Amino acid sequence: MSQLSNVKNVREILNRHGFSFSKKLGQNFIVNPSVCPRIAELGGAGPDTGVLEIGPGLGVLTWELASRARKVVAIELDERLLPVLEETLSEFDNVTVIQGDVLKIDLGELIRQEFPGMEVVVCANLPYYITSPIVMHLLEARLPVKAITVMVQKEAADRICAAPGSRNAGALSAAVSYYASARVLFSVSRGSFMPAPQVDSAVIRLEIRPQPAVAPVDEALFFKIIRAGFSQRRKTLANSLSSGLGLAKNRVAAALEQAGIHPSARAEELTLEDFCRLTSQIFEGDFDKKV
Ligand code: SAM
């Protein structure tokens, strides 16, 4: 096990490098020794696997990944951490650290170059200020990865993994379940981090589907309808779709009826299949020209 989750060691390394935490970059480093081995194991890091990590920080999770996987590529935005990582990961020859913003990197190209012939998984303790953009960036790029196992704030975990029809269901969980099957693996208390954040966290796993869960007639319209449906949660679907898509309410009501959805239903009650049928009706009803 790495010495990096020992608080005394972490303080010593940080002091020696004159490093101070950046709240802006979501720097809460794991200091609970039981967390990273579990993420690495459950994330699928193994002798034939390539692992893409986002935000290695001091390298505490990277260490656990590198000792199990064939290769690890870690993307870190904060260049002050590069000399630290060089020291903490010096015993490994299967780790590449790339300095950059994960949201600006062509991850498909990076995976093709760095992991030829390997099964690839993503493992990370995500910076919380951009959890949803990173998750959507990973999913929308249709990366050739098997699974994404990441730690996020507890509340974000509940929103990402919400089942259709449940209280937490929203545009994010609908989009996630289109690309992947998502579940919460385990919770992590705020005291497991340095500095400790205000809230607890959870590790989630998104198992990427070989094909999206449904096949909408027009994917862009499908997501536009989902976003519009959830945009005003207190309104009925007929109202929120009419204002969100700029369509007459009676036309929306007709499309809902043709799709077999009650006009007073709310977006969180709909399954992906419902949204898919609704997309067909709106698309075929000539509404697409106005959307
Ligand atoms: N993996 C480490 C751990 O578990 O202790 C650090 C996790 S910390 C929550 C998030 C890390 O992501 C930080 O090291 C931060 O500098 C980095 N980061 C923040 N924004 C980033 C971005 N846009 N692209 C890549 N890394 C980023």
pLDDT tens, position by position, 161-194 = 999 878 899 999 999 999 999 999 999 999 999 9
Helix, coil or strand: residue 228: helix
Query: What CA–CA distance (Å, rounded) separates 47 from 51?
Result: 11
Q: How far apart are the first and last CA of the chain?
A: 55
**Cα of 267 to ligand 1 centre, how many Å?**
34
**Cα of 26 to ligand 1 centre, how many Å?**
6
Distance between alpha carbon 93 and the CA centroid of its chain, in Å? 28
Best mutation site among 58, 61, 76 for ligand 1, i.e. most ligand atoms within 8 A of its Cβ? 76
Q: Outline where the chain has alpha helix (H).
A: 7-16, 35-42, 60-66, 82-88, 107-114, 131-140, 154-160, 171-179, 219-231, 237-245, 249-258, 272-284
pTM of the model: 0.94
Model pLDDT for residues 22-75, shown as the tens digit of each residue: 999 999 999 999 999 999 999 999 999 999 999 999 999 999 999 999 999 999
Q: Which residue has the tokens 């996020």?
A: 152
Give the model's pLDDT for residue 210.
95
Q: What are phi and psi of 97, to 5 degrees?
A: -105, 130
Q: Which residues contact 143 (CB under 8 A, 6 or more apart)?
A: 107, 108, 111, 120, 122, 208
Q: Which residues contact 150 (CB under 8 A, 6 or more apart)?
A: 54, 122, 123, 124, 125, 126, 135, 203, 204, 206
- CB within 6 Å of ligand 1 — which residues? 25-30, 54-57, 60-61, 75-78, 101-103, 125, 127, 130
Task: At 56, list the tokens.
Answer: 């290695």
